Every structure is written in C-alpha cells, then in structure tokens.
Structure 1
C-alpha cells in the first residue's frame, strides 16, 4: 500500500460532496438543483449542472488525477472537452459514457497523460497494474458505497484506485455518501471484487 502521505486530492462528482443520499432519494436532477456550489462545476447553467453531474464520475476521477500535479479543472469543463473527443455522446438530454477509448485519446492529447484501457482483468491483477501505473480508474457498481450489501450488478460507476495490495484496496469514490466511503475508502480485495466489473483504465501522470 502506498502511504497516505502521498495525498491524492478528493473531489466528489457533485460540488457539495454530502448530497449523495439526497440524489439517491430524489433523483439527481431534483436534488442537485439545490446545490449551492453548482457554479464550481464549470456548468453555465443550473440545468446543465443537474443533467451532467450524475454522469461525470469519470471526470471526477480525472479531476483528482490532475489535481495530484496541481491542476484544478472543473468537472463539467472536463466533460465538455471529453465529449469533443467522443468520450460522451449527448442526445436530447441523455448522456452515454464514459467511453474508454476516446477518453484515452483525450487525456493524452489534452494533458499528456499515459492511459490504457484494460478489460478482462481480475482483482488480483490490479496491484501489478498499479506497480506500473500511478492510478487505476475501475468500473464498479455504485453500491460500493455500501460494502456490506450485495450489489444487483457490477459496473456502471467509476472509482479511482490509488493503491492496492493483497490485503487492501484504497480508492476515492466520487459518489461516496459519507466520509468513510469517499476519500481513501478501503476494502479487502475479495470485497472489492464483489463490485468490480473486470475493466478499467490505467493512468500515469
């Protein structure tokens, strides 16, 4: 495990990070219209923020990666840029993405990051991946915020894995609902595996 002294900044996918339970209870668009910090997202309007914020876990992960080297870029500004590369497909208010291959091109060209799409990988492969790459953006179930529960499916959400060993995985969850499930959340590999969809993106700054 990398020591916590190697701090990776945490950012939620919502500007007010404790809104997750409201989002789950009311739906993202309804709840996020009450977010007093929404302008920090880079959205031009509250409507734009309310639509995008539920779909930018990947951009929150990227924001954290960039912040590690001192760059702070608003999440929705990142989403706009990524969309121009094809990383998101926007159609009449619906948003499809994150699409991995265009994201890799985007971060390479826009920020000089090295990134690689990885599929059909086991949880046991992730420590070795992190020995070669600084971060791993992992596809997991959003239910990873409740590690005591069994998820209905795997995938559909992204978290930023910052370190991994045979004993524990440490990660930042952009939609964690309490502090313990947001920054530096930890799970045993077997527990992480219950949520992991066996794919992700390795990134090096």
Structure 2
C-alpha cells in the first residue's frame, strides 16, 4: 500500500453506553439491561436499551462521524428510531434487518448534508484513497476482528469505522471493541483485514456529493 499514514482525530463512541463494560456485555456476563449508564442512550426502558445496544454498531459509527464533523450528536436510541423511520433498519418482532446501506446513505445525505456513498465492492486501496481524501469509511467486518481472530467463522455482519490508513494497515473505531485494546484507533494490518472484511461499506464525507 503506497502513501503516507493519515489518521483523522475522530471521537469514539461504543454501541453500549458503558464502553468499559463491553467485555461483560459481549460474553453475557452482564446483561445490557444492567448497564449503569443505559439512560444516556435515550431509551424509554432498560429493556428497549438492551434490545438495541447489541444491534446499533452502525448508529455508533454515524455518531462518531457526526461528532467529527461538528454536528449535534443525538442519543443512540432516538437516532435508531429515526433510522427505522428512514428504512435503514427493519424490525419484525425480535428480528432486525439492518443497517441497510442504501436507505441509510439517503437518510444521512438528506438529514445532515453528508456525502454518503454505498460501495458494494470496496478494495483496501480504495479505503486508503478515501481516508486520504478526508472521508471516513463504514466497513462490514466480522465481530471477531476485535481480537484479530486467526480463523473467523465468516466475513461481515458487524460495522466499524475506518478512521486512518497507512502503508502497514488500517485504524478502526470499533463500536464493540475491547477497552484498551481494540476500541479506538485500533490497528489492523492489511494482511489481516481480508479474513474479516466482507468487501463492502459506506463512504462518508463532510459535505454532500455536489460540494466535494
């Protein structure tokens, strides 16, 4: 990978309010309903928060981008409700389909004037190029990227935000990363990314397409 290293100073948001408790949430040692900071999410109840917190990695990525570009950052659950209304998520009982890229991108562009482009095929070189242009990139990866699992069972299924790249690898803000290890500015070598990355994502920019 050619080019110099560049990392954008993007604030970090976990998909759970208590980022330090993520190891307990992801192993079910503690229920999200017992997150002591759950009310900060804007949820109406512990139960509503516990349902959505494991499912809103995409909203955490969006909140990071909004903060980085100086927009007011809504609490996670009200933001999620708005995304539902925009079709970026579809809930049927206890089943949720989302984040659905196209309606998400349309909503982000309409609501905040962001550049938002769905990229169903996205190569590492393109991620590097987009970061170099000042963009951020939402990537679909397997959740086990948090530990650089040597043999993940699949690719994709979890969303992270690419905030930096360089010749040796990429830097990620991972909404379900481990504190002190893989939450913010987490380095992932290019050689490791492929076994987690589904090859698709959404490019985000500060201004709508016509203003780039």
Residue 33 of structure 1: CA displacement? 1.1
Q: Report the Cα offset of residue 2 of structure 1.
A: 1.9
TM-score by length of 2: 0.89
Bigger Cα displacement from structure 2, 177-186 vs 125-134: 125-134
Q: Secondary structure at the match of 1:169?
A: strand
Match of 1:50 in 2: 50
| Contact 1:123/1:196 (<8 A) preserved | no
Question: Which structure carries more relative contact order (alpha carbon 8 Å, separation 6+)?
Answer: 2
Offset at 1:8?
A: 0.8
Aligned residue number for residue 188 of structure 1: 189
Cα RMSD (Å): 1.5
- Which runs of 5 or more residues in structure 2 are unaligned? 207-212
Residue 109 in structure 1 maps to residue 110 in structure 2: yes
Aligned runs of 1:158-173 on 2, under 5 Å? 158-173=159-174
Superposition map of 1:1-205 within 5 A? 1-3=5-7, 6-26=8-28, 31-70=31-70, 71-132=72-133, 134-205=135-206
What CA distance in whole angstroms lies between the structure 2 residues aligned with 1:138 and 1:148?
Answer: 17
- Distance (whole Å) between structure 2 residues aligned to residue 149 and residue 77 of structure 1: 37
1:33, 1:46 → 2: CA distance? Answer: 5
Q: Report deviation, 1:148.
A: 4.4
Q: Give the TM-score taking structure 1 as reference length.
A: 0.92
- d(CA) in 2 for partners of 1:15, 1:43: 11
* 2:6 and 2:166 in contact (8 A); partners too: no
- For residues 136-185 of structure 1, give each alpha carbon's deviation from its aligned partner in whole angstroms, at most 9, with x where no partner exists: 00000000001143211000000000122231201100000222200100
Post-superposition offset of 1:59: 0.1
